[in-house]
A and B are shown apart, each in its own frame.
Chain A
């Protein structure tokens, strides 16, 4: 008897609650999401999922620092649309399954107004799919592989100067313009089995192979590889003139050390990923000299908002920002430009579509220069090429922004 009574009470309570919430939610759904957002004093809530642990923890934390620095800077300067900005950052543990459910939760349960993208191509694609399903604008700091732009997303924008395949364009042009006797004749390629790492490395490989330079080693390794001595043995055995590596971070470091252990001395070493990490010289020691790397960002770039960024970031962190931080900040700038121009920042499909449409038709001034996008979200610029010269990572290409001349052949490591 008592149990039945209790059940009845519970059922009535539940029904009442459901009816009430339905009544509250039904009017003007479109332009107001109820109590959680929309008011002039409420913060604009931005949801992000990042790989703070696992394989991509290192760059993931860089992106986190960039997002947080951007939010703090915006809030100090009066916020966005006169509202404060609040970040909700969750950890996806570098897992593609987690990242999709994270964005589902951010959009459905946490009711965020805007979302920013995660790190790395492998996480960007599933995250962008969720954003597409809910009609959200999706600006991302780190999904540069060609396949990101071949999935039919029309809500995606990559907040960096160029996609992976174009990163080395300046270097490819430079190598092909070298006199015959200085030009490398053979290439050894090693890349992580990752669309972004492979995109950068293969962009250079294919550009050079098309002009008759011979590819003598072409290795792919899984992301969990820790022992690189076998790959290093193959590369050392080939004695290739040019080394091209597509790396993330620890793999690049381990491979370089393994190559040094086997006494391999290339004339030119182009390594994407690892060398632009601030920890790289500390991990390799004084043997970085001459290593080339493409970069979408340098603190020395003369764009107006970049000086503001470097000043704001350095003040908080006692260190200059790196590429991951910069791309995160760029993401913030791109979304902010759209929000300011359109005048809305909420989860409604109308507002999100207006933001998307605006970005398709306009150019945004960012810390990596002016950015505009094609219909699939590919940015329409090119990457700078940096080289370790006298222990400092320095811009060497293209000629109009270089800080030093490219050193070729590279000093022994």
Chain B
């Protein structure tokens, strides 16, 4: 491997890791708040990507502007989904049943996308699609940089919300000990709904970032959910900083391993990390068990 190729792959890994971090953050949030395994997270991601593409097709405006619509929309949908679907599951079997429920939601979204926009593969064609900035011999694609910036800003915002607002404190209290949170007067049902909405809002941001740089089609979400699930387990279920760190680490590892091993084997890094985590440290490497700390 030449130095230039190493540097290029490292940068690509960091850019990809940033996007993974944002997507995994949402996924781990659902689990932290509600012990829900949200298989449909990546389906909502593709839905947001389609909405961004459709917005661009219809209006001719930059697909990033669709965030103004999709982020509030997904927040409301997430809140509604938690209050009217997920919260109806019996607490005792919530985690396992949520897999089935959200699996069904994912299939429904995939089917509807195919029904409305057909299976045709779509791509947002922009002036700056192929553009890049060259820094010290490393090409950084503009669209990847935008996606990374979106991810960084959203993760930062998420961090501030959870750390600095009273809603964030209520959410973290609900995550750590729901009964105790109720005892001190937190409306945990409402907080859980809002937390779910927050998670889905990150999918809207991630999907828009995805639409900038990928060809999208209805079944694409299956390619994303596997690595994302692996990331949140490695990072420690429910821990947002853990998910972000695991995402960055595995994203870079996949990108660097791709050079000597090829694309087929580089993809397995997520699952190898998952197996290793389950064998050595089942509670995850970064977060405590079920996000005891944030």
Whether A associates with B in a native complex is yes
Contact A237 B5 (CB under 8 A): yes
State which of B2, B119, B214, B218 has its C-beta within 8 Å of the C-beta of A254. Answer: B214
B272 at the interface (CB under 8 A from A): no
State which of A193, A230, A249, A257 has its C-beta within 8 Å of the C-beta of B258. Answer: A230
Knowing A61-B120, A249-B121, A254-B215, the reply to whether A229 touches B144 (Cβ < 8 A) is yes
Residues of A within 8 A of B114 (CB): 53
Q: Which of B208-227 contact A (CB under 8 A)?
A: 213-215, 217-220, 223
Smallest CB gap from A231: residue in B: B263
Contact A257 B129 (CB under 8 A): yes
Residues of A within 8 A of B8 (CB): 233, 236-237, 262
Chain B: minimal CB distance from A301 (Å): 26
Contact A61 B215 (CB under 8 A): no
B132 at the interface (CB under 8 A from A): yes
Q: Which of A212-266 contact B (CB under 8 A)?
A: 219-222, 224-227, 229-231, 233-234, 236-237, 249-250, 253-254, 257-258, 260-263
Chain A: minimal CB distance from B10 (Å): 10
Chain A: minimal CB distance from B43 (Å): 15
Residues of A within 8 A of B118 (CB): 57, 61
- A193 CA to B263 CA, complexed, in Å: 10
Contact B219 A53 (CB under 8 A): yes
Knowing A229-B141, A233-B5, A254-B215, the reply to whether A222 touches B125 (Cβ < 8 A) is no
Instruction: Give the segment of A65-73, A202-210, A277-285 that binds chain B.
Output: A277-285
- A53 CA to B143 CA, complexed, in Å: 28
B259 at the interface (CB under 8 A from A): yes
B100 at the interface (CB under 8 A from A): no
Chain B: minimal CB distance from A265 (Å): 12
B239 at the interface (CB under 8 A from A): no
A58 at the interface (CB under 8 A from B): yes
Chain B: minimal CB distance from A270 (Å): 19
Knowing A226-B220, A230-B9, the reply to whether A250 touches B263 (Cβ < 8 A) is no
Contact A263 B139 (CB under 8 A): yes
B266 at the interface (CB under 8 A from A): yes
State which of A227, A249, A283 has its C-beta within 8 Å of the C-beta of B16. Answer: A227
Contact A54 B223 (CB under 8 A): no
Contact A230 B12 (CB under 8 A): yes
Contact A57 B120 (CB under 8 A): yes
Smallest CB gap from B143: residue in A: A261
Chain A: minimal CB distance from B8 (Å): 4
- A55 CA to B222 CA, complexed, in Å: 12
- A236 CA to B138 CA, complexed, in Å: 11
- A53 CA to B110 CA, complexed, in Å: 11
Contact A285 B264 (CB under 8 A): no
B112 at the interface (CB under 8 A from A): no
Contact A279 B262 (CB under 8 A): no
Contact B263 A222 (CB under 8 A): yes
Pair count A-B, CB < 8 A: 112
Q: Which of B254-270 contact A (CB under 8 A)?
A: 255, 258-259, 262-264, 266-267
Contact B5 A58 (CB under 8 A): no
Q: Which of A44-72 contact B (CB under 8 A)?
A: 52-55, 57-58, 60-61
Contact B263 A221 (CB under 8 A): yes
Contact B217 A57 (CB under 8 A): yes
A413 at the interface (CB under 8 A from B): yes
Residues of B within 8 A of A230 (CB): 9, 12, 255, 258-259, 263, 266
Chain B: minimal CB distance from A237 (Å): 4
Chain B: minimal CB distance from A406 (Å): 24
B61 at the interface (CB under 8 A from A): no
A287 at the interface (CB under 8 A from B): yes
B35 at the interface (CB under 8 A from A): no
- A242 CA to B281 CA, complexed, in Å: 48
Chain A: minimal CB distance from B253 (Å): 12
Contact B264 A193 (CB under 8 A): yes
Residues of B within 8 A of A283 (CB): 123, 125, 215
Identify 8 new A-B residue pairs, CB closer than 8 A, beyond the known A53-B218, A283-B125: A220-B262, A222-B264, A230-B258, A237-B5, A257-B130, A263-B139, A282-B125, A283-B215
Task: State the B residues within 8 Å of A (CB).
Answer: 2, 4-5, 8-9, 12, 16, 114, 118-121, 123, 125, 129-132, 134, 139, 141-144, 213-215, 217-220, 223, 255, 258-259, 262-264, 266-267
Q: What are the nearest 7 A-B pairs in CB distance?
A: A57-B119, A260-B130, A261-B141, A230-B258, A221-B263, A250-B215, A237-B5
Can you offer 24 A-B residue contacts whose CB atoms are under 8 A? A53-B119, A55-B219, A60-B119, A61-B119, A226-B215, A226-B220, A226-B223, A227-B16, A230-B258, A230-B259, A231-B258, A231-B263, A233-B5, A236-B139, A237-B2, A249-B121, A250-B121, A254-B215, A257-B129, A260-B132, A262-B139, A279-B120, A279-B121, A282-B125
Task: State the A residues within 8 Å of B (CB).
Answer: 52-55, 57-58, 60-61, 193, 219-222, 224-227, 229-231, 233-234, 236-237, 249-250, 253-254, 257-258, 260-263, 279, 282-285, 287, 413
